[in-house]
Structure 1
Amino acid sequence: MAGIYIHIPFCKKACTYCDFHFTTSTKYMNEMVEAICREIILKKNRLEHQQIGSIYFGGGTPSVLPTAALQQILATIEKHFSISSDAEITIETNPDDLTALKISQIRKLPVNRFSIGTQSFFNEDLVWMNRAHNSQEASDCIKRSQDAGFENLTIDLIYGYPLLTNEKWKTNIQTAIELQIPHLSAYSLTVEPRTALAHAIEKGKQPDVSDDQSADQFMMLIDTVTSNGFEHYEISNYSLPQKYAVHNTNYWKGVPYLGIGPSAHGFDGYDRYINVANNAKYMESLAKGQLPETLEQLSTTDKFNEYVMTSLRTMWGLNLEKVEKDFGRSYAEQTKKLAKPFIFNGKLFKEDDIIKLTNKGKLFADGIAAELFAENE
């Protein structure tokens, strides 16, 4: 089943490390919601005859929207698309937004999953990141959500930053486990250009991140959560059995999805559509009844390389039989040939027609995938 992603470009504060498209001004929030609904209507035939199995509100911080705005967007989707009765409907939230009142309001919507941007359970780390919440709110909002009936929760954690000792990282992981979170997303801090963090490092005001620290903490994470019953089903994602994120898993499996909102990407199974990453231009375009998007036509080689990149990141691995069926025998034979050195040095292993990363190989996932790419003719 297909998915719908809605990008909500509003945040209370700018995190030091973030390079996603967002604004801290909510001046045109109502106009943005109207534009998003117009885009949904204009794209109502994009997923014709396909049922919607997941809806994902990302951003930005969707939880800053009033509940009535979320309801308006969901009602527009429901009017123009066929939504599965058991569809996963996720909203990204920040802990400080999940008050008892907000949770009770969202509970009345068809939203059935929270993705909570916790990042850390230590105050000093949250201040360093310029997060809007504190450590008490980080744990309280999880318990509050569970008490209200939201059992399908995931939280984000970040590792590999200078303040995070291994002991603190162990505490963050253990806290997530003790809070009975069924799904965890954990990301190594990367220094993105043009962010406040990148600027501070360039000026010598902050130390750079350490690859060795990130690698050590990545392995700590894998060991700890897998020994507690979690499956490491994608490089940055861990869940209890069968608690995988439906929406994100569909990305990695190449399932079509609509991208709605400024900067959002969509994929129809053949080509990618990319919305303008400018709020004013996005709204102006839709006010004229025009879609604010550009088409990225994907060649066979592009699609193969994307399959290599996404499949290798997952526990399901790269299926050579699928490669041969979808792309041809030459692609499959070349992939087997290029994978051999990595199998020999213990970074990949092969089970029947499936190639997977070893734990050692997971440290080099992107680099290994790039070595298996085919070249565009």
Structure 2
Amino acid sequence: MARLSVVFCIDVIFIFMAGIYIHVPFCKTRCHYCDFFKSTKVQFRNQFLGQLLKELENRRKFFPESDKIIESVYFGGGTPSLLDVDQLKKVLAVIRKEYSLDNGAELTIEVNPDDLDPDYLEGLKKTGFNRISLGIQSFFDEDLKRMGRRHNADQSRKVIDQTFDAGFKNVGIDLIYGLPWSDQEKFLENLKIMNQYPLKHLSAYHLTIEPGTQFGRDKKRKKLSEIEEEQSEQLFWLLHDEAEKMGFDHYEISNFCRDELYSRHNTSYWIGKSYLGVGPGAHSFDGIRRFWNKSDLHQYLHCGYQKGIGEEILSENDRFNERLMLGLRTKKGIDLFDLKNIHPGLTDRLEKNIQKWIDRDFLMQSGGRIFGSRKGWFLIDGIIEDLFEV
């Protein structure tokens, strides 16, 4: 049986410190597929910034001593590129003042192609950003229009060139596949166009139609539906095989990188490091407890984060299940020895359940690590659910 070569390559060791996530909840318009918390009330950006800076100052003691050094700051959304350079400078200035930011920290910002120009990119560079994530989604105008994106294909190509011209080296893009009106040939062409650029990272997500989105409403009216699972699997392996030929390492179900430029920030999530999320709708984790800010822009603007913050102490089962879920979605998989040390009472049943998946060639074992085979990785979410401790 053919095997997934990237899953065999398990010698990569991730040693990342804590991170800070900045949720910028503004969008000029709503994309038809997106169910992240967002608001089109962009006129409140200055008021939002004031509350965001206060939250960063108030939560400066959030991190435990073991995770005191901050190695990544990630501006996501929403649309972070709706903040101007001076606003972004203020956020980073507070982080540098109040937190122990590592000198070589990864500073990422998600940007929309239609928000960028050479001056803005130059400003990002001077401010200290060293990683850019471009929300391309597709290089075809039809796809972009039907997804409700604001930019067009020409802008996508132009802004990638401008980003490299501004001196950024660590540049990645997002693509969406599994579009009901599209096909394999079109997605392959997207990958070929992507390969014309020296990109270091790719996040590729299969379209999921979520309730509450425009696509969700279209699905309810039977105007749209997800593609068949067989088609999804074919696209997944087309993506993997072509990206691998292009020199990308498929290091997590939806993420690929060149030259070992993994997303430090996202990888910290996957290995269970602490992270602080600020802004409405943002989540945080201190190693034991999970926190979340209420997804309510009005409350955040008028009362700050304190009035809407929620908290949950994770049970041992929760932490065990989360470690399984996050680990098995990566090519590195999970270390059974570590799992036994951390959760000694929960691994007997797990080992029996793992064995049945190994016997069916869905999971593989090497050097004490468990990870997905080529047959199993596409179905890994279902396998993880079966392994959960309830």
1:360 aligned to which of 375, 385, 389: 375
Deviations 1:152-206 (A, max 9, x none): 0111000001122111100111111221211100000001011100111221333
What is the rounded CA distance, in whole Å, between the counterparts of 2:120 and 2:24 in structure 1? 17
Alignment-derived partner of residue 93 in structure 1: 111
Alignment-derived partner of residue 184 in structure 1: 202
Residue identity matched to 2:43: K
Unaligned runs of 5+ in 2: 1-16
Alignment-derived partner of residue 203 in structure 1: 221
1:129 aligned to which of 147, 154, 166: 147
Alignment-derived partner of residue 45 in structure 1: 61
What is the rounded CA distance, in whole Å, between the counterparts of 1:67 and 1:323 in structure 2? 44
Pairing 1:334–2:349 present: yes
**Cα RMSD, aligned residues only:** 1.2
What is the rounded CA distance, in whole Å, between the counterparts of 1:53 and 1:33 in structure 2? 23
Residue identity matched to 2:326: T
1:62 aligned to which of 80, 87, 93: 80
1:224 match: secondary structure: helix
What is the rounded CA distance, in whole Å, between the counterparts of 2:120 and 2:259 in structure 1? 30
1:8 aligned to which of 24, 28, 31: 24
Alignment-derived partner of residue 348 in structure 1: 363
Alignment-derived partner of residue 71 in structure 1: 89
1:30 aligned to which of 43, 46, 59: 46
1:21 aligned to which of 30, 33, 37: 37
Residue identity matched to 1:334: R
Alignment-derived partner of residue 14 in structure 2: none
What is the rounded CA distance, in whole Å, between the counterparts of 2:365 and 2:226 in structure 1? 37
Residue identity matched to 1:104: E
Using the size of structure 2 for normalisation, the TM-score is 0.93
Pairing 1:324–2:336 present: no
Structure with higher RCO (Cα < 8 A, 6+ apart): 2
Query: How far 1:291 moved relative to its partner?
Result: 5.5
1:87 match: secondary structure: strand
**Aligned runs of 1:263-274 on 2, under 5 Å?**
263-274=281-292
1:108 match: secondary structure: helix
2:167 match: secondary structure: coil
Residue identity matched to 1:6: I
Alignment-derived partner of residue 315 in structure 1: 331
**Aligned runs of 1:237-316 on 2, under 5 Å?**
237-286=255-304, 290=306, 292-316=308-332
Query: How far 1:229 moved relative to its partner?
Result: 1.8
What is the rounded CA distance, in whole Å, between the counterparts of 1:212 and 1:15 in structure 2? 26
What is the rounded CA distance, in whole Å, between the counterparts of 1:313 and 1:79 in structure 2? 35
Alignment-derived partner of residue 83 in structure 1: 101
2:306 match: secondary structure: coil
What is the rounded CA distance, in whole Å, between the counterparts of 1:113 and 1:291 in structure 2? 33
What is the rounded CA distance, in whole Å, between the counterparts of 2:18 and 2:307 in structure 1? 20
* Greater alpha carbon shift after TM alignment, 68-77 vs 124-133: 68-77
Query: How far 1:334 moved relative to its partner?
Result: 2.1
2:188 match: secondary structure: helix
Deviations 1:58-82 (A, max 9, x none): 0001001111111111111111001
2:275, 2:284 within 8 Å by CA — same for their partners in 1?
A: yes
Query: How far 1:213 moved relative to its partner?
Result: 2.1
1:122, 1:135 within 8 Å by CA — same for their partners in 2?
A: yes
1:189, 1:209 within 8 Å by CA — same for their partners in 2?
A: no
Using the size of structure 1 for normalisation, the TM-score is 0.96
Query: How far 1:143 moved relative to its partner?
Result: 1.1
2:208, 2:226 within 8 Å by CA — same for their partners in 1?
A: no
2:172, 2:200 within 8 Å by CA — same for their partners in 1?
A: yes
What is the rounded CA distance, in whole Å, between the counterparts of 2:58 and 2:112 in structure 1? 30
Residue identity matched to 1:185: S
Deviations 1:97-138 (A, max 9, x none): 121121111111111111111000000000000101000111
Number of aligned pairs?
A: 372
Unaligned runs of 5+ in 1: none
1:7, 1:264 within 8 Å by CA — same for their partners in 2?
A: yes
Residue identity matched to 1:221: L
Residue identity matched to 1:242: E
Query: How far 1:53 moved relative to its partner?
Result: 0.2
Residue identity matched to 1:58: G
